[in-house]
Amino acid sequence: MNPTIDAPTQADPPLPTPTPQEFRDAFAALEREVGKAVIGHRDALRSILVAFFAGGHVLIEGVPGIGKTLIVRSLGEALDLSFSRVQFTIDLMPSDITGTRILEEGSDGRRTMSFVPGPLFAHILLADEINRATPKTQSALLEAMAELQVTVAGHTHALHTPFFVLATLNPIEMEGTYPLPEAQLDRFLFKVTLRYPEVEDLRQILRGTTGTHVARIQPVFGAEPARRLNALRRLVREVIVAPPVEDYVARLVRETIPEVSGQEIVRKYVAIGASPRGAQALVLGAKVVALLNGRVNVAWADIEEVARAALAHRVVVNFAAETEGVTPLGVVDRLLEMGKQWQR
């Protein structure tokens, strides 16, 4: 049976492409509004926003209680977009997140099968503790994240745009969890690790959350936020990348593959290297960073800024690396150091 595709819900013509300055202003406003609720984690928040404007999804890793859910919820409020939250558990089924077809009886007494959208049909989806769901359920996200559509019972449904998945991952309590397969990991543009807040940040958290004062997040975009966000995303795609920069990105990603890499650390400790999606993530993230840095072209520094978030979760190290304490981040850092000579 050939699937049919529902037309996108937004049929309105796109807004004119904003200027880089408008982009920077919108980005700064988002950081400011989310920062009202989220204390600290400035780098993590910046990476999340970069991935959002780049059109990707983010995997957030952090211990419980560190503010993962708060970040996602605050971002949804600031963007003024539809927001869904799914708590992934071991008994969660794919239809629980994608939606299902149910039998409905019409007013005339006739019974028809109709589709009931699941939580995926929102602009922002929080997949909390995604590693607790079974691989079958996790795989239900693959099509949605990559192709922005869901196929249920042979019928394909387009998702809303912008569609942004924020999944959280608990690095502890691994009992009863299912590590994300590489294919699933590869669909996240960035992986952001939240670290424990500093003392000053912790003091502000206490001051802001234990009193009567509750931070109120104002929407950044007044009317038609989705259309405005899509316009900003289009602007990101307009950023110019010179062929030498593309060559640098390609070589950087290529060097993560142990079979072809010229780096000893990669050949020795890396089991699986980054895919072409890694290169796409590097360029898209660098484009956003370039705009934020006041440029309309991607520079070496932009690539380096997003490389750790874009490549670390795509580089899978082997057992030897784990025993010797070599982490994917260490491998990426080493490649970036070596990559300085490729820039000339």
Partner 1 sequence: MDTRSSLDLVRTRLNRLGLQRATCTVAGCGLLALAASAAAASRLAPVPFRVVSAGLLAGWLAIAARAALALREKRSDDLAAARWIEGKVDLEQRLLTLAATPEPGRRSSLWSMLEEDNRAALPRWSGQPLGIPRVPRQAALPVVGLLAALLTLVPLAREQQPPPELVGQESNDGGAGADATGDDQPSAVGAGLTRALSPAPGDGKGRTVEGSTGGRGTDVRGMLASRFERSVAGRALGPPPPAGAHPPDGSEEAGAAGTDARAGGIGKSKDQPGGRPPEQGLARLESGSGGQQTVVGKSGATGAATRPPGGDPDGSGKPGEEGRPRDGGGKGRPDASGRGKPDAPVADGDATGAGSPGGGGSAAGQGKGGALLAARSLTENAHQRARFALTIGTGRRDAKPGSDSGEQDDPRASIADVARGEQAAERRVRHEEIPAEYERVVKRIFAREP
Which residues contact partner 1 (rule: CB under 8 A)?
A: 17, 20, 238-245, 293, 295-301, 344
Closer residue to partner 1 in complex, CB, 20/162: 20
Closer residue to partner 1 in complex, CB, 109/294: 294
- Helices 42-54 and 300-311, interaxial angle, to 10°? 100
- Residue 19 phi/psi, 5-degree rounding, is -90, 160
Q: Partners of 103 in the beta sheet?
A: 113
Tell me which residue of 128, 51, 142, 42 sits closest to 85, measured CA to CA: 128
Question: How far apart are CB 144 and partner 1 at their closest, in Å?
Answer: 30
Question: How far apart are CB 298 and partner 1 at their closest, in Å?
Answer: 7
Closer residue to partner 1 in complex, CB, 24/36: 24
Question: How far apart are CB 23 and partner 1 at their closest, in Å?
Answer: 11
Euclidean distance between CA atoms 142 and 136, whole angstroms: 10
DSSP state of 340: G
Question: How far apart are CB 245 and partner 1 at their closest, in Å?
Answer: 7
Closer residue to partner 1 in complex, CB, 145/232: 232
Question: How far apart are CB 55 and partner 1 at their closest, in Å?
Answer: 17
Euclidean distance between CA atoms 114 and 316, whole angstroms: 42
Q: What is the DSSP string of 246-309?
A: HHHHHHHHHTT-TTT---HHHHHHEEE---HHHHHHHHHHHHHHHHHTT-SB--HHHHHHHHHH
Closer residue to partner 1 in complex, CB, 45/245: 245
Closer residue to partner 1 in complex, CB, 19/82: 19
Question: How far apart are CB 225 and partner 1 at their closest, in Å?
Answer: 22
Tell me which residue of 78, 226, 89 sits closest to 163, measured CA to CA: 226
